[in-house]
Amino acid sequence: MIRSIALITLALAAAPLLAAPGGNYAEREAGRALLERLEGVDGVNIDAARALLAEAEYQPEIVEKMRTPAERTLTWGDYRPIFLQAERAALGADYIAAHREIFDRVADETGVPPHIVAAIIGVETKYGRVLGNDRVLDALATLAFDYPERSDYFTRELEGFIRLCVEESLDCDREVGSYAGAMGQPQFMPSSYRAYAVDGNDNGRRDLWEEPADIIASVANYLAEHGWERDARVALPAWVGDADQIDGIERSEREPAYRWDALRGLGIRVDAPPADDARVGLLEFDGAHGTEYWVGLNNFFVITTYNHSPLYAMAVYQLSQEIAAARQDAEG
């Protein structure tokens, strides 16, 4: 027994210790490795990067939020009323009216309609009214170094954020966003900001907090770059023509699983069906009044590249329809 305890003690002493959460992230092993990578990047002041990383603070509640996101715990019946309200649709219609020239130009260039862009901004931040409460620096550092489930991903995002601080002159020690590190009115992650944000007013900067031209053009550019089809539909309400086959049909979340003619052959019906060779997916939601079936088209799945949850994509689509209706009402 004594020998066993001694062996266990020796084994524990020899085992590498896991880093305690928090502390000075610039001095953690992973933090030093990140700074070493940044040292070879043109335009990055490594002393400023080190000082910024040292300022990041561990936020344990962010890790808890990541492990229980709303999309994993809410049904469509719960999720829909969070984003589908007459007030939000009216705000979206007003937002389009206030920036009509920008929206019209962007729609001509990208093919993404104004009500879709406005719906995304409305769902993400209610047109800048709800930008998030977590300092982006803290969120990304916490998740990069103290959320092992997705450490690699968030380390890349943290590195991208530090580079953005230099490239875009962001106020990095003050900017707030979501608990996952998403930023600005459209809630771009740093990698998306660097890849898809657009200088919509040609002033030499991409400002997704304050500049409507940049915000609107950036959302549309993101969707266009991910395959948005001009003048195409998003989703169609569906019903089951053959109840015996429904259990055998694959449900889609992030990509279509069938051609329409194949899904129709399995008993799914819609009004005004798409072309036989259209790629589609069957969507199933637990709504407030029972199960809802929808057929998602290409543009629905493009929205899921912005946020992977089908609940999110459906909320954006339905809010976009309400915004379009509110615009029609306002215009008579």
Q: Which residues are marked as active site?
A: 124
Are 172 and 44 in contact by the 8 Å Cβ rule? The answer is no
Return the percent helix, strand and coil in the chain, to nearest 5. 55, 10, 35
- Facing residues of 121 across strands? none
Are 141 and 158 in contact by the 8 Å Cβ rule? The answer is yes
Q: How many CB atoms lie within 10 A of CB 71?
A: 12
Which burial class, exposed, middle or buried, applies to 291 when counting CB atoms under 10 A from its CB (0-12, 13-18, 19+)?
exposed
Residue corresponding to tokens 């005004």: 272
Question: How far is Cα 97 from Cα 117, in angstroms, rounded to an integer?
Answer: 13
DSSP 39-78: HTSTT--HHHHHHHHHH----HHHHHHHHS-HHHH--HHH
Please, what's the b/e burial string for 219-234 (b: 16 or more CB within 10 A of its CB; e: otherwise)?
Answer: bbbbbbeeebeeeeeb
The residues, ordered by sequence, that sit 6+ positions from 215 with a Cβ below 8 Å of its Cβ are: 121, 184, 185, 186, 200, 208
Question: Which amino acid, residue 187?
Answer: Q
